[in-house]
Amino acid sequence: MAEINETADTKTASIILHNAFFYDFVVWLAMRGRGSEFRAKTLQLARLKPGESVLDVGCGTGTLAIKAKKFLGPSSHVQGMDASPEMIARAKKKALKASLEIEFVDGRAESLPFPDGKFDAALATLMLHHLAPKTRRACIAEIRRILKPGGRVLIVDFAPSVPLERKDLIDLLHRRHGNLKFGELETLAREAGLTIIESGAFGMKDLQFVLARLDR
C-alpha cells in the first residue's frame, strides 16, 4: 500500500504528514468505517456546549472541526491548526464546501499561534503519537496556556494497556510513530497543571482518553 508522504521536523523530531487526500483514506481504513462514530463520541466526551470557542490541535484535514462546528451551531467559534500546509489547504476546501465558517491556520503544537485564554475547549485527537516526548509536553503546556479559566481539553490517542502483538493497520501506524505508554496521557495533563475530570478507554481499538480542566 502506498505510504502517506511525511517528513521529520528536525527541530522537534516529530512527524508532519503531507498527503492530505491519502491521509483521509488511511483514517477511514484504519477506523474501518467507524470514523463518524469516533467523531461523535469525541464531541460527547469533550462536553462541548453551543456558543463555545473550540480549537482542534493537529486538525489534519478538518473533519473533526467541521463536525464540531455543525454540532455547536453558528454562535460557536471553531478553529483548526496543523503543521502541514497540505492538510490545512484540504481542510479549508472542506469547510467551504460545507458552507461553514471555520478558521484553519498553520502552526506548531509546541508553539500555538493564539493568545492566552482564548478557548473554552481544545481537542487533541490522534496527534500526540506523531510528536517526540519533549514536544508532547510542550504541546499540552501550550494548550493549557490558550484555555480560559475552567476551560477543558480532551486528549485521545493510542496508549495500549498491554504490549501490541497484532499486525493490523492501527498497530503498524502506532509503531511507525512515537509510542505512548499506558497512563502517559494522564501524566502529561497533570504535569501541565491540569485537573483530570475523566479518563479511561475510549472504546475503540487501543485508544485512551483524558478530559482535563484548567482550574485557576
33 lies in some domain: no
Question: CA-to-CA distance for 82 and 78, rounded, in angstroms?
Answer: 14
Please, which residues bridge with residue 105 across strands? 81
For residue 98, is it within any domain? yes
Let me know if residue 71 belongs to a domain. Answer: yes
Task: Write down the residue that cell numbers 496556556 correspond to.
Answer: 145
In a domain, 153, yes or no: yes
| DSSP state at residue 91 | H
Domain assignment of residue 17, yes or no: no
Q: Which residues contact 34 (CB under 8 A, 6 or more apart)?
A: 204
C-alpha cell of 16? 508532519
> pLDDT by residue for the chain (216 residues), tens digit each?
233 444 545 454 455 555 554 555 566 556 666 788 999 999 999 999 999 999 999 999 999 999 999 999 999 999 999 999 999 999 999 999 999 999 999 999 999 999 999 999 999 999 998 899 999 999 999 999 999 999 999 999 988 776 555 555 555 554 444 568 889 999 999 999 999 999 999 988 789 999 999 997
**Phi, psi for residue 42 in degrees, rounded to 5:** -60, -50
Give SS3 for 150. Answer: strand
> Range of 122's domain?
41-106+116-209
Give the pairing type, strands 119-125 and 207-213. Answer: unpaired
How many domains does the chain fold into?
1
Task: Give the CATH number for residue 185.
Answer: 3.40.50.150
Is 62 among the domain residues? yes
In a domain, 51, yes or no: yes
Residue 34 lies in a domain: no
